[in-house]
């Protein structure tokens, strides 16, 4: 399932920031009991929309079907540690072509990265 979040206007500076390299956005959404949740997602910028995908039966998919209000925070981990926050309403689609159709402003999605392997106890790390 693909999701697109439209906002009224993204400035050229914001689009440039969001489009630079491959960044992971932190998607904020609401659980069924109203708790705020955050999950990392890869996204692409298409004009005034951010597009990402997830399964409709995942926690994110079920939450966005209930309440499509979202926030995406994307940061730059290098000094001076800037970030962008975008708020909007997610819309869904079942057709992958909706997300992957060619457009001049769209970046090519990259293959899924593997998470680093944890090899045991690390002091200071929460499980």
Q: Please state, in angstroms and rounded to a whole number, the distance separating the CA atoms of residues 76 and 55.
A: 27
What pLDDT, on a 0 to 100 scale, did the predictor assign at position 1? 42
Residues with Cβ within 8 Å of residue 4, at least 6 apart in sequence: 46, 49, 50, 51, 90, 91, 93, 98, 99
Q: How many angstroms separate the CA atoms of 62 and 15, rounded?
A: 28
Return the pLDDT at 23: 84
pLDDT in the model for residue 105? 41
- Alpha carbon distances (Å) from 6 to 69, 80, 115: 11, 28, 29
For position 91, what pLDDT does the model report? Answer: 85
pLDDT (tens place) for every residue of the chain, 127 residues total:
445 555 557 788 888 888 888 889 999 999 999 999 999 999 888 777 888 888 888 999 999 999 999 999 999 988 888 999 999 888 887 776 665 544 444 444 444 444 444 444 444 444 3
pTM above 0.75, yes or no: no
- d(C-alpha 43, C-alpha 21), whole Å: 11
Contact, 64 vs 35, CB < 8 A?
Answer: no
């Amino acid at each position: 399932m693909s999701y697109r979040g439209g906002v009224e206007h993204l400035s050229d500076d914001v689009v440039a920031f969001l489009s630079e390299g491959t960044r992971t956005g932190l998607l904020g959404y609401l659980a069924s009991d109203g708790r705020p949740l955050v999950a990392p997602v890869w996204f692409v910028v298409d004009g005034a929309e951010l597009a990402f995908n997830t399964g409709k039966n995942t926690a994110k998919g079920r939450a966005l079907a209930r309440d499509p209000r979202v926030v995406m925070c994307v940061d730059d981990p290098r000094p001076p540690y800037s970030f962008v926050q975008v708020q909007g309403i997610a819309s869904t689609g079942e057709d992958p072509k909706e997300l992957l159709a060619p457009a001049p402003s769209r970046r090519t999605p990259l293959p899924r990265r593997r998470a680093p392997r944890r090899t045991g106890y690390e002091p200071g790390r929460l499980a």
